[in-house]
Structure 1
């Protein structure tokens, strides 16, 4: 019995992690910035539970794997079949979204497929717990996630949800397209004309909202996303950079001997990206639309997986 009581006490302490003085100061800042009553914020934190597994998840993301392993997580025959079925089921909605938002249907289908496998995997963490844990106990991103915590309170009020009911990813992303609260509020559209944005259950709203997200981030309809280039590691090394921005113009790389760059407009903004295959590095010139995909998820691996899956979907549909 003594052991059992000790175990219960230990588990309770492990999960009960109230805010320290710095956390309370952050709540006051959020109250002022988001015009949320301090008592409301405090009550929300009291309902939230610290989850160490969330910290563990964000510190070892899938994007830390090499490309040849990461790619195989998403470009599978099973996901392709599910994507084609989703496209067939929602063909009219996707055509409407493509026409209205000028974003290709295959990109919309690919995003929803990569994010949630068409609704099969929308997340197992309480959004309240995820944003509380990361917003107040993960210093590296605390400013960002504490703001998302406040956005979530506003979203809950807008939608009429129970505060601790909603589940999502370890980063607090929700629904078919995995929108964080600020994105849900800003980019969500009532594409089904029901009078309310519902990206959790309404696939029509999810399609419209994903398309709107890409339009708002300036997707360039009809322009390429990437170009495969033939370079040795030595040729590539001076042009590689860590950031996501596009630091060069095609003319610069063409003058340096990158033949494929000569086929692009001289002023086309580009970035050279190296992707780790099992026995070599593969090099790509990525363009504005690739950068737009990284606005959804800041990983170049994610962006390339979405692009290649979209092309796989488009090719398979054209062949059917």
Structure 2
């Protein structure tokens, strides 16, 4: 498996390192299957069809191995060089130029900065070059029935997959994606595909697997639905004279509960002074460099990126790559 394929980031998942839990017994798995069939029957699915749906999925140990060793657990100085490369930047500029009208339309319609749309697709799949080689049904089945730490979540995604296949008339046997069952240019898990995908090319289907137009519109819609604020700052570097005050902790996935005013102080300042509403929600991110730590003030837009993938390293990589794209595109 190539490093880039290994790095496919499942949408809206917390991918911090998890220790492997004890595998469920055969009887426990069978009980989960029976419960799943009953639940799906309540949603209108025939029990026999759901039984076949489960039987057609296979356990994949590689999925468990990938889930328990995510790259987001690495320090920033090892993480960001994978994404912030000249090759990815060149590919991003080419993608932006080729789809400029669609990206501009999505940006205006959903009120999302164009560089963020382009950055997400580049980080997720290298513009469709690496969409994942795991059969989606196998990945979600494996995690939903054989991975106790997140089994409830992934059984829900497995259920959403059954609905998605029916709604969008997808060939379940050809669906490939990440080790967490994320699909297409933007790596949408089934629930996100169902809730946020849009038919942006108006051809009657929401196709995130082949249609770049639908993918662009859908990524923009995802950010719009989560509250992206166009032309507003995302994150700002901090300078610290001392350690963070005891009243402020670095962000670890929780909802925003600090305001900027709670974070800034005589000992914690913006690296570059700008006018800023200090009553707005904020968080603090620590980036581990090889010889020192950096601290950044994350604002609402940074938090929105983490709705796509909850790793702060992922969000920072998306932001910094988007800035590189914006600068390079403006100077072409």
Please tell me whether residue 267 in structure 1 is matched to residue 279 in structure 2.
yes
**Structure 1 equivalent of residue 100 of structure 2:** 91
What is the distance in 2 between the residues matched to 1:237 and 1:230?
Answer: 16
- Which structure is larger by alpha-carbon Rg, 1 or 2? 1
Q: After alignment, is 93-102 or 159-168 more displaced? A: 159-168
Please tell me whether residue 57 in structure 1 is matched to residue 66 in structure 2.
yes
Shift of 1:159: 2.2
Choose from 250, 263, 279 the match for 1:253.
263
Q: Deviations over 1:202-229 (max 9, x none)?
A: 1000000000000000101121000101
Q: After alignment, is 36-45 or 268-277 more displaced? A: 36-45
Choose from 230, 236, 254 the match for 1:221.
230
Determine if contact 2:241/2:268 at 8 Å carries over to the other structure: no
Shift of 1:117: 0.1
TM-score, normalising length: structure 2: 0.87
**Structure 1 equivalent of residue 325 of structure 2:** 313
**Structure 2 equivalent of residue 235 of structure 1:** 244
Determine if contact 1:82/1:118 at 8 Å carries over to the other structure: yes
What is the distance in 2 between the residues matched to 1:129 and 1:233?
Answer: 49
Instruction: For residue 306 of structure 2, give the secondary structure of its aligned residue in structure 1.
Output: helix
**Structure 1 equivalent of residue 288 of structure 2:** 276
Shift of 1:52: 0.5
Choose from 188, 192, 198 the match for 1:189.
198
What is the distance in 1 between the residues matched to 2:183 and 2:80?
Answer: 23
Please tell me whether residue 106 in structure 1 is matched to residue 118 in structure 2.
no
What is the distance in 1 between the residues matched to 2:28 and 2:104?
Answer: 48
Please tell me whether residue 138 in structure 1 is matched to residue 147 in structure 2.
yes
Please tell me whether residue 300 in structure 1 is matched to residue 323 in structure 2.
no
Instruction: For residue 228 of structure 1, give the secondary structure of its aligned residue in structure 2.
Output: strand
Give the 3 Å change call, closer, same or farther, for CA 148–91 of structure 1 in structure 2. same
Determine if contact 1:18/1:46 at 8 Å carries over to the other structure: no
What is the distance in 1 between the residues matched to 2:303 and 2:43?
Answer: 30
Instruction: For residue 275 of structure 1, give the secondary structure of its aligned residue in structure 2.
Output: strand
What is the distance in 1 between the residues matched to 2:210 and 2:274?
Answer: 47
Shift of 1:269: 1.1
Instruction: For residue 264 of structure 2, give the secondary structure of its aligned residue in structure 1.
Output: helix
Instruction: For residue 223 of structure 1, give the secondary structure of its aligned residue in structure 2.
Output: coil
**Structure 2 equivalent of residue 78 of structure 1:** 87
Q: Deviations over 1:38-87 (max 9, x none)?
A: 22221111111100000000111110111111100100000000000000
Give the 3 Å change call, closer, same or farther, for CA 119–236 of structure 1 in structure 2. farther
Shift of 1:245: 2.6
Pick 1 or 2: higher relative contact order, CA cutoff 8 A, min separation 6.
2
Give the 3 Å change call, closer, same or farther, for CA 32–267 of structure 1 in structure 2. farther
TM-score, normalising length: structure 1: 0.90
Determine if contact 2:77/2:290 at 8 Å carries over to the other structure: yes
Q: After alignment, is 100-109 or 20-29 more displaced? A: 20-29
What is the distance in 2 between the residues matched to 1:267 and 1:29?
Answer: 48
Q: Which runs of 5+ in 2 are unaligned?
A: 1-25
Give the 3 Å change call, closer, same or farther, for CA 20–250 of structure 1 in structure 2. closer
